Amino acid sequence: MFLGVDLVVISDMVANKVISAREVLSEFVSNYVMKNSEIGAFVSVDLDRALADADLIDQAIVKRETNGRLLGVPFGVKDLEDVSGFTTTKGSALYRLSPPSKASSIMVNRLIAQGAIVVGKTNTSEFGLRSETTNAVFGDTRNPLDLSRTAGGSSGGSAAAISGGLTPLATGSDGGGSIRIPSAACGISGFKCSFGQIPVEPSNGSWGDLSSVGPMAATLKEIAYVLDEVVGPDERDFRSKERPFGLFYQYWASQRSPCRILASKTLGYAPTTPEVSAAFDKALSLIESQGIAVEVVEDILDEDPLEPFMTLALAYTLSGVEKDLRTGGWEVVEPVTRQWLEYVMDLKAQDLLRAQSVSYEISRRVIDKMQGFDLLMTPTCASTPPELTTQGKGEFDDSNWVRFTYPFNMTRAPSATVPFQLSRSSFPIGVQLVGRVGRDLELMAYGSFIEALFSNNM
């Protein structure tokens, strides 16, 4: 944990002049110098700018001219998201030499307005398309818990920065599991809001209505604290929703115990490794020991919705980069990216509509299955994070380890992941918690209870 405390405490200490924002930034600099070269979490930093911002915050605190809730908290920004003064490479040689962004994203601006300090950009896979974080420009992001393993993706740079203690806060985006997968892989908690809770600008090239952006931190406590500052509508995003009727941080503090949980180890199509299976069984037993009713059902879905999901994801991606690809970009993108995008080059309108229709069918199926239950619980991933190959090119033994997350991008439902370990020596697995669309606060309250239960079990 950064500075040995969470970001809520850091901000409070800075606000009360127990520690200065510059001293907090000095901790980041020290951690960055010691760890980033081996982890590969950050791809660019601007320490002079960050230290100057810290000095401005310290001066404003002395003059009592600021009351932000994230004072002095350093944060990284996933390299799919714009930050004024930084190049957004999207993990691709196609944009490596692009000029720095002239403006920051809505979420980044809201974090800065509360006194958080941008320190740099975090690594991602090319265009956020892969479930591990590696690209031809910046290479692999390695898992701080085991440097031989992937950190997951595509927000792996952000997850690794947090798990490795480089920074307490980073941004992520989740179009198919890209917050939940790396959070689970790196042993931290993660939270994907219902679609539209946090606004985005179309120019950011997000995956249409599959993707949700959001803050990433080590615990749900910290995530909830930050969510209260970034949710809410913006007129630039006509899909954005009104603020929830309540505060995430208050619902986190309530640690509400669910009464009935629907659990599925496979969702009907995704087998898990023996290690994940055993850990998930123990997690369910621990929950049942609290008097919570758990019903295990394996036919949540009839089949893996990978094909319609990829149709949507790749179509959204292509629409955002096609102009640049047509002007010579096809030769510089990675081979796997080119292969995938070529797959949807001749996509017909009815193909896209058919994939959208499958999303509605999945949503109705999950809603029906969840009747009478507070939430749905699954493994976050089918295995622990795979090892990088000896060539270090981000290739993996098991290409099917991330089948549990993308259905809940297709349904637009809120979902979270919290870490669970069989023993202190075992690698943590993520346990995914799925709520109902629009009931993000409720899911946060249940997630807080389960996260604390799992943590106290260790």
Domains present along the chain, CATH in parentheses:
2-306+347-457 (3.90.1300.10)
The DSSP call for residue 2 is G
> DSSP E strands: which ranges in 369-443?
375-379, 415-420, 429-434
Write out pLDDT tens, residues 96-148: 999 999 999 999 999 999 999 999 999 999 999 999 999 999 999 999 999 99
Write out pLDDT tens, residues 202-259: 765 568 889 999 999 999 999 999 999 999 999 999 999 999 999 999 999 999 999 9
Are the C-beta atoms of 418 and 188 separated by less than 8 Å?
Answer: no
| Cα angle 435-173-275, degrees, rounded to a multiple of 5 | 65
The model scores a pTM over 0.95: yes
pLDDT band at 1 (very low <50, low <70, confident <90, very high): low
Write out pLDDT tens, residues 312-349: 999 999 999 999 999 878 999 999 999 999 999 999 99
Write out pLDDT tens, residues 274-290: 999 999 999 999 999 99
- Average pLDDT score over residue span 71-90: 98
Residue 235 makes CB contacts below 8 A (sequence gap 6+) with none
CA 325 to each of CA 92, 208, 317, 328, 334: distance values in angstroms, whole numbers, following the listed order: 12, 19, 11, 6, 12
pLDDT band at 390 (very low <50, low <70, confident <90, very high): very low
Residue 136 token pair: 């031809």
pLDDT band at 47 (very low <50, low <70, confident <90, very high): very high
| pLDDT value for 203 | 60
Q: Which residues are catalytic?
A: 78, 154, 178
Instruction: Give me the amino acid identity at 308.
Output: P
| CA 65 – CA 15 distance, rounded (Å) | 11
CB atoms within 10 A of CB 362: 22
| pLDDT value for 399 | 54
